[in-house]
Amino acid sequence: MKHLLGIDDLGAEGIGEVLGLAEAFLEVTKRDIPKVPALRGKTVVSMFYEDSTRTRLSFETAAKRLSADTMTFTAGSSAVRKGESLLDTVRTVEAMGIDAIVVRHRSAGVPHRMAGWTQASVVNAGDGWHEHPTQALLDVFTLRLHRGADLAGLRVAIVGDVKHSRVARSNVKALTALGADVTLVGPPTLMPPDLSGWPVRLSNHLDEVLGTMDVYYVLRIQRERIGEALFPTLREYAARYGLTEERLARLADDILIMHPGPTNRGVEIAAAVADDPRSVITEQVANGVAVRMAVLYHLLAGDGRRPPEVLGELEAARA
């Protein structure tokens, strides 16, 4: 596998492989010297056309823990400000000798186009509303640490602004690939216009769904959406779709609460809810580095694609 542009590039089997790697890397990150020489001599460049200190640092840390060298372009950097075309920037960077590009951009499809322009591996760190595959991978990784490797039949509610959420799209793909039962919850205006072909259920009423789910994945609501007449006020949104303390009280002890961060406390999620022991939000963040190490290793170490006989042998040997 050359690129990670979306969850479909992995499929259920690929997800399993990457998460297996992530487990190994999680152990590495807990060592006194949390570093392995696996990607020594490789160069990973971050091209973050959209600001995101957290995700960018997570990727850079992951690359460094694998002993790779890193380069960074951010939204404020001169190349981006001068309006140099994406293609020219990619060509320039490639001429310097790189093995992977980690790219975030506010326009969907940018990683796909870049993949056609370069020999390097391209990792999608978020493209517009489309996908954020490493976020979904670390979310599923976190879920598996709590619920075991088999997520078949796990009932997950994704609550909030699905229409504009790349995290939601990637999670729908990852969770359904692993057999989970996904329900989207939110007002009709915040759902994608046409859900035909999506392997999900839909509800416009959080209270009807409350108590029937194993996992509540809460999405961030953005203030800017009010100007687009997608819902009247944040207050009304919080009242109808927020995971409030009152709603939390109706939930069982063994459910999990997740959020891709950063949270809008008091809007889509109450402060007390985010801090509740059933919330794994901080774990999600902590697992990000190990998962991103796994992705980089999977793409850059070895051809990544193993012949079926090898898989069979290794299965037998592992037994």
Q: Taking the complex as a whole, how short is the minimal distance between the CB of residue 213 and another protein, in angstroms?
A: 23
Q: Taking the complex as a whole, how short is the minimal distance between the CB of residue 269 and another protein, in angstroms?
A: 23
Q: Taking the complex as a whole, how short is the minimal distance between the CB of residue 185 and another protein, in angstroms?
A: 17
Q: Taking the complex as a whole, how short is the minimal distance between the CB of residue 218 and another protein, in angstroms?
A: 20
Question: Considering only residues 131, 139, 214, 268, which one is a binding residue for another protein as defined by CB under 8 A?
Answer: 131
Stretch that binds another protein, among 178-186, 256-264, 279-287, 297-305 (CB under 8 A): 297-305
Question: Residue with structure tokens 């959209």?
Answer: 50
**What backbone phi and psi angles, to 5 degrees, belong to 15?**
-60, -45
Q: Are 218 and 167 in contact (CB under 8 A)?
A: no
Which CB, 254 or 303, lies closer to another protein?
303
Tokens, residue 72: 């960074």
Which CB, 189 or 244, lies closer to another protein?
189
Stretch that binds another protein, among 175-183, 193-201, 256-264, 280-288 (CB under 8 A): 193-201
CA distance 11 to 18: 11
Question: Considering only residues 81, 82, 223, 305, which one is a binding residue for another protein as defined by CB under 8 A?
Answer: 305
CA distance 106 to 111: 11
Q: Taking the complex as a whole, how short is the minimal distance between the CB of residue 216 and another protein, in angstroms?
A: 23
Q: Taking the complex as a whole, how short is the minimal distance between the CB of residue 121 and another protein, in angstroms?
A: 12
Q: Are 215 and 143 in contact (CB under 8 A)?
A: yes
Considering only residues 210-269, where is the footprint of another protein by CB under 8 A?
Answer: none
Considering only residues 65-104, where is the footprint of another protein by CB under 8 A?
Answer: 66, 85-87
Q: Taking the complex as a whole, how short is the minimal distance between the CB of residue 64 and another protein, in angstroms?
A: 14
CB-based contacts of 179, cutoff 8 Å, min separation 6: 12, 150, 151, 152, 153, 154
For position 197 contacting another protein by CB under 8 A, the verdict is yes
For position 24 contacting another protein by CB under 8 A, the verdict is yes
Please give the full DSSP string across 262-296, using - where no structure is assigned: ---BTTTB-HHHHHSTTB-HHHHHHHHHHHHHHHH
Question: Considering only residues 1, 36, 226, 285, which one is a binding residue for another protein as defined by CB under 8 A?
Answer: 36
Q: Classify residue 290 as left (phi > 0), alpha (psi -120 to 50) or beta.
A: alpha
Question: Considering only residues 57, 108, 145, 226, which one is a binding residue for another protein as defined by CB under 8 A?
Answer: 108
Q: Are 261 and 284 in contact (CB under 8 A)?
A: yes
For residue 9, the one-letter residue type is: D
Stretch that binds another protein, among 137-145, 248-256, 266-274, 306-314 (CB under 8 A): 306-314
CA distance 201 to 185: 9
For residue 101, the one-letter residue type is: I
CA nearest to 30, candidates 286, 277, 202: 286
Neighbours of 97 (CB within 10 A): 10
Question: Considering only residues 129, 141, 237, 241, which one is a binding residue for another protein as defined by CB under 8 A?
Answer: 129
Sites of contact with another protein (CB under 8 A): 17, 20-21, 23-24, 27-28, 31-33, 35-39, 66, 85-87, 105, 107-110, 112-113, 127-131, 166, 169, 192-198, 297, 300-307, 309-310, 312-314, 316-319
